[in-house]
Structure 1
Amino acid sequence: MKKLKVGILGANGYVGYELVRLLYAHPKVQITYLGSRAYENKAYNEVYPAFAQKLDLKCEDKSLEQIAPSLDLVFTATPQGFAASVINEKLLNECKFIDLSADFRLKSKAIYEKWYHLEHKAEKLLKEAVYGLCEIHREEIKKAHLIANPGCYTTCSILALYPLVKEKIIDLSSIIIDAKSGVSGAGRGEKLENLFCEVNENFKAYALSNHRHTPEIEQELSLAAKENLTLQFSPHLVPMQRGILTTIYANLSQKIDAKKLKELYKDFYKNEKFVRIQNTLPEVRFVKNTNFIDINALIDERTKRVIIVAAIDNLLKGAAGQAVQNMNLIFGFEEDLGLEMIANL
């Protein structure tokens, strides 16, 4: 079978590297374009020596108009605002796009501009873009030309809460999401707060009440609930390279025991290859370098609250792995093709 020709914009970032790593080993993909302004004309195996004797393709900085006609799919692992400024209907007729920024995740231009402080330059495409959370929007994804790949915190939070919200098991006004992420979630750019001496032996909260993933979580869970909801999202930075651990609290709105709660999750996700409902509390190390999300839900009988714990690798299920999962759906491949990894402890 003819291999899929793909291009990656932003190939030099952490997410871009993970995309290259996954797609290089994918049996039905040929990487034919690597976009990077910072490393233009430099061989990729010089940027990342892990690809020595494997991938000597040079990084380039061409326009989408130049590269789209020769590609089947473009991944845009680029800063917020870029994809919306360059993707248009003409390009979508030439190839398909999976955008890993936030440019097409929110359906409201006004909400995007409020939270990202950027003008959205492709409002007409917001309706066309499909939110690429495979376990929730699988059938829409299969027919899509433009995928908005979900954020990392959002993937972990939405999948952990979705069955409870959909079935109205919890009080929707009581949701508190306490999330912790590794430093790679902030990207590869040079930032003082991400230097080794700033994060090592440290643990801090940040962006309380105004983290950009908040409206994304609320949007998708509101769709599940069929009513608007508002929740509390509190992110933290921990001194590890990768991974997200999320602990979620909500008041029960109806009586349910621990056994039925576990059965609800197992039944809801029974056909999902990347969702594992665990009997032990999830840990980041057991999902590291995989496309899995591990979830466990418990009931505190004393407080009448449900406690959900979930873990993902922010660079894989929270970004590049999920993007490949979306690609597999769009082009009719097995959903786990190229993603059959087990955590390396």
Structure 2
Amino acid sequence: MNTPLPPPSDHQQALHEARTWLRLLNSGQATTWDGEGFQQWLQNAVHREAFQQAKAEWDLLNQAAQQRAQQVSAEQIHATTRHMRHRRRLLQAGTLGLGLTAGITVLYPPAELWPDPQQWGADARTRTGEQQQLTWQNATLNLNTRTSIQELKQQAGFRLLQGEAAIQINTKHDFEIHAGVARSRTRQGHFECKHLDNHTTLRCLSGELTVYHPYGERVLRTQQQLHYASTHISPVQQHDHRAPAAWRQGELSFEHTPLEQVITEINRYRQGRVVLLNTQVAQEPLSGRFQLHALEQAIIQIQHTFMLNSRHMPAGLIILS
């Protein structure tokens, strides 16, 4: 007599479904209908946990495949004759580009059919290149590209999960802004908050904002700003003007900014990815203002300024070398 197998656990079933979703979403055949179905499936906490595990497995496989491709490519290069080396280097760049495309397919899926893990649980979010204004309780919020916020359960306000937001508020009750390890409290004023890669910048255009951080308390007033991360908080600093950040005027503004940081910022607003392979110019400073609706022209300008070669790959990938 055959003993029946026990039914799979909820986690095992969710993990199987998560792997199925990953294969579909990376097949290039997923539809908008599939994306909506995936969003509904992801509302379940068990499903979200399973998808994180499945995506981690997928990333490891991609990493192993890229390493193997690079190893094979390197072996081929060493085996070539001297007069073929230049051509082989170009082929290696193409192989690297394909490997990067494979990895980016997972991190930046076509049409953004699923949100970044940092955006899970968000009550409002914007996609790449999107900006949005909304009324939030007693405040007016302007959300920049790839920004997600979550409602606070026991206090008026919101948590900035990632991205950048401008807040205007005038109320008789406390309103809080949570970002990273700190929380900020105000009742009236005009503020900007940027939270990326576990680093946060707070800027006060008008009013007053009290910041509560594990390493100290600060008060921001008009034309003041500060920065913090999990291990430190800066002193309060003066900034020169009351004008809103450049992104609220449809621009990106840089002043003696290292090129690799400029590329990182452009990638926040652009579908696809720009990859800088030339490490010799990565720290070269760049100053200028670029229109958000014309970032392709900005990339061309950067290419000519630093005398870089560009290679355009599928899915909006541009390799600068």
Same topology, TM > 0.5? no
Q: Which structure has the higher relative contact order (CA within 8 Å, separation 6+)?
A: 1
- Give the structure with the larger strand fraction: 2
Give the number of the structure whose alpha-carbon radius of gyration is greater.
Answer: 2
